[in-house]
Amino acid sequence: LSELEALMERMKRLQEDKEDEEASQEEMATRFEKEKKESLLVITGGICAFSVPLSFDDEIVSTDVSRYIEDPGFGYKDFARRGEDHLPTFRAQDYTWENHGFSLVNRLYSDIGHLLDEKFRMVYNLTYNTMATHEDVDTTTLRRALFNYVHCMYGIRYDDYDYGEVNQLLERSLKVYIKTVTCYPERTTKRMYDSYWRQFKHSEKVHVNLLLMEARMQAELLYALRAITRHLT
């Protein structure tokens, strides 16, 4: 099977498995913890645990951005140290964008919540119902896996989501690309972009990038707004 056909076959099988039997809460929690720990092993700028090149130094253009920012050393750090037994988990059910973050941010800055919510929904729901040359394809499962994997990297768990889907739909090299784009976008190269989902259209792959960026922004907002809520109460 080609990369595309294999992915579509996995999507179809997942849908059939859902209809036959759903995983228990305990199983879903275990799968999340496994996925969360594995995400910490994906390190850009070297070789990750999956033995996949994470960056292509010969293609990376070194740019001095210090004149644009106050703290040149500021950058992404994993939410927990690798090797820790008990990694922190942000339970989305305890503080969600829809039920908590949206209303708080609107209080802090009038109407910004509506604009952010529209942006999140537009990017998440954007689809032509295609996958490369295939038409009339429901990509909801794949889009949700991409979005939830980014939140998983930030330690955010959705109790109603089976993270086994992430492992089945997102191959290891794609996870490397996702973490690079999400956490270290300056290290992303065209070679990395070209190396995944080779049969997909550029518009579809650009949509993946947009989805990753919006998922990251929402994750960051959830942490910040939860901290503000705790301070106010």
H-only helix segments in 101-139: 102-108, 112-125
pLDDT above 70 covers what percent of the chain? 85
- Beta-bridged to residue 156, according to DSSP, are 90
pLDDT digits (tens, 9 = 90+) for 122-160: 999 999 999 999 999 999 999 999 999 999 999 999 999
Rounded to an integer, what distance in angstroms lies between the CA atom of residue 118 and that of residue 217? 13
pLDDT digits (tens, 9 = 90+) for 17-31: 876 777 888 999 999
What pLDDT score does 63 carry?
A: 57
Rounded to an integer, what distance in angstroms lies between the CA atom of residue 44 and that of residue 76? 11
Mean pLDDT across the stretch 70-97?
A: 80
Distance of CA 100 to the CA centre of its chain: 21
- β-pairing, 156-157 with 90-91? parallel
Q: What is the distance between the terminal CA atoms of the chain, rounded to a whole angstrom? A: 55
What pLDDT band is residue 200 in, cutting at 50, 70 and 90? very high
What pLDDT score does 186 carry?
A: 82
Where residue 84 falls (left for φ over 0; alpha for ψ -120 to 50; beta otherwise) is beta
Give the range among 64-73, 83-92, 118-127, 217-226 with minimum mean pLDDT.
64-73
pLDDT digits (tens, 9 = 90+) for 168-182: 999 988 999 999 999
Dihedral over Cα of 20, 173, 152, 36: its sign:
positive
- Beta-bridged to residue 174, according to DSSP, are none
Q: What is the pTM of this model?
A: 0.86
Does the pLDDT of residue 43 top 70, yes or no? no
What pLDDT band is residue 69 in, cutting at 50, 70 and 90? confident
**Both tokens assigned to 189:** 């190269």
* DSSP states along 148-206: HHHHHHTTEE-TT--THHHHHHS-HHHHHHHHHHHH-GGG--HHHHHHSSTTS-HHHHH
